[in-house]
Structure 1
Amino acid sequence: MADSSKEELLQLIKRFSAYITVKISHLFPTSFHNLDSRSVVAIAGLAVAVVFTWKLLRLPGGPHQRPKKRQPPTTSSSLVSTQSNSALIPSGVCSSSEDLRAQNVVDEFFQPVNPTLGHIVRQKLSEGRKVTCRLLGVILKESTPEELQKQATVRSSVLEVLLEITKFCDLYLMERVLDDESEQKALAALENAGVFTSGGLVKDKVLFCSTENGRSSFVRQLEPDWHIDTNPEIVSQLARFIKYQLRISPIRPERTAANVFSSPSLEHFFGRD
């Protein structure tokens, strides 16, 4: 158990050093490439020390007060694999989670004092480039196909986040419908809300199917970095295949896998409710 913890810490430090090296190279692109390997290691080591010193100073009582042992906090933007759920996801996802542990610490240190929504979206989505999302209960106020037969209403509070996602990601919206009229209602609601005017989303990327399994099939074929859904069964089925998922639920559900997050709404996940 001790050897495993040491190995995990060593891997985290290596990933942290590699990622912070990239960050520094972005900040000083010209001079950085002229440095030799020892200088790069020295700079990375110094940055590591600065970051962890900064973390220590942020603790209550300052550096003189030794903090009590506690588990690292789990935020909606950090993916820490635990021993209890490591068997539920493939090794590739675990590796990505380890990368994110180092990346998120660096991002928190380098992020602007007042980050823009665009910065938050990129950070929360871990720079994911393709996103799939269901309509009912996430984008639309209606939550069932039966309600969609009567009307379709876009939630105004989600529009800002939705349009920001389309700037950085290839976004696909999808839903199960009972008839063609429901499709037309959903498309008309999206168009009236201005979703198609930003240029990031077109009607061809709004997909409809007749079953829940059909939506799951859409997601697997598209192979997104993120899938957003309200159906716990769909989320559970896709956990092994999709890198990250966000389940929208008014009640915080039990965490089923390290790559599955939850939020009461899409805008809440990005701090815009």
Structure 2
Amino acid sequence: MSEPSSSLSSSKDELFQLIKRLGTYLALKMSNLFSISLQKLDPRSVGAIAGLAVAIIFTYRLMRSPAAPPRRQPKRQAPTTSGSSISAQSNATLMPSGACSPSEDLRAQNVVDEFFQPVKPTLGQIVRQKLSEGRKVTCRLLGVILEESSPEELQVKQATVKSSVLDVLLEITKYCDLYLMERVIDDESEKIVLLALENAGIFTSGGLVKDKVLFCSTENGRTSFVRQLEPDWHIDTNPEIVSQLARFIKYQLHVSPTRPERTAPNVFSCPSLEHFFGCV
């Protein structure tokens, strides 16, 4: 009569101990997790943590609720041997009540570790975070979007869009009002640049149109464009323009193969645009 009841009680004790160990390990993980600023958690992570907490509380309450009494079973006297009785007593001696086996401890740790696997942010999330939710961006073409680095190189009837920058550029156009600009020597260079951008598929994403690609004949002309547009971010390779605009633009990214000395707190530097967003 007492065997089903004792078996059920034993199973409950084992499950309760597993939950208890899981809770202890979870508390350690949670303390490490909440040492990070909540602003850096995305809604999916917060929801997942809340869901896990609710699941643990529900399971704990379920375990504490009184179990229904087992049905009476016909008394059956199973033949037992002295050997099996000695083995059961030996196991009871080796595994005291309330103790957890190493396998249970490892199981609880694996459950928590699997739940807290870091979620890799998407490129779109990285772009928004890096740009501090900026809504308007201006960017020069040469040396940032194009492989060519000088207006003279455009006169050889060729312009090449960097393949490594395409994904970043398309993500920026999804969240920001993007303007591209460049100094050119002649009208033919303008056509070459626009054709290269079109062939790269930049205009097909819907976030950038040809009217937002601006051309000028001097470096000061590019500075004037930026001042008039008043962007949240400007991206350039010319250190003089970056220095001149530091007082007027909220943030700037100076693209330079070498790491120059920081000229202002709102000016960042990186070897390339894609490097700034962690794409290389």
* Shorter-chain TM-score range: 0.5 to 0.7
Verify: 1:134 aligned to 2:140, yes or no.
Answer: yes
Corresponding residue SS for 2:254: strand
Verify: 1:174 aligned to 2:155, yes or no.
Answer: no
Residues in 1 aligned to 2:248 and 2:32: alpha-carbon distance in whole angstroms = 34
Q: Which has the higher contact order (CA 8 A, sep 6+)?
A: 1
CA-based RMSD of the aligned residues comes to 1.8
1:198 counterpart residue number: 205
1:51·1:109 contact (CA, 8 Å) conserved in 2? Answer: no
Residues in 2 aligned to 1:53 and 1:203: alpha-carbon distance in whole angstroms = 46
**Residue 225 (structure 1) aligned to one of 228, 232, 239:** 232
2:219 counterpart residue number: 212
TM-score by length of 1: 0.62
Q: Deviations over 1:42-64 (max 9, x none)?
A: xxxxxxxx789625xxxxxxxxx
Aligned length: 176
TM-score by length of 2: 0.60
1:107 counterpart residue number: 39
Residues in 1 aligned to 2:169 and 2:126: alpha-carbon distance in whole angstroms = 13
2:278 counterpart residue number: 271
Corresponding residue SS for 1:240: coil
Residues in 1 aligned to 2:221 and 2:194: alpha-carbon distance in whole angstroms = 19
Decide which structure has the larger Cα Rg and report it. 2
Q: Deviations over 1:207-248 (max 9, x none)?
A: 000000000000000000000000000000000000000000
- Which sections of structure 2, spanning at least 5 residues, go unmatched? 1-30, 46-118
2:114 counterpart residue number: none
- Which sections of structure 1, spanning at least 5 residues, go unmatched? 1-49, 56-104
1:121 counterpart residue number: 127
**Residue 54 (structure 1) aligned to one of 10, 35, 41:** 35
1:145 counterpart residue number: 151
1:173·1:206 contact (CA, 8 Å) conserved in 2? Answer: yes
Residues in 1 aligned to 2:149 and 2:39: alpha-carbon distance in whole angstroms = 35
Corresponding residue SS for 1:224: coil
2:16 counterpart residue number: none
Corresponding residue SS for 2:181: strand
Residues in 2 aligned to 1:51 and 1:107: alpha-carbon distance in whole angstroms = 15
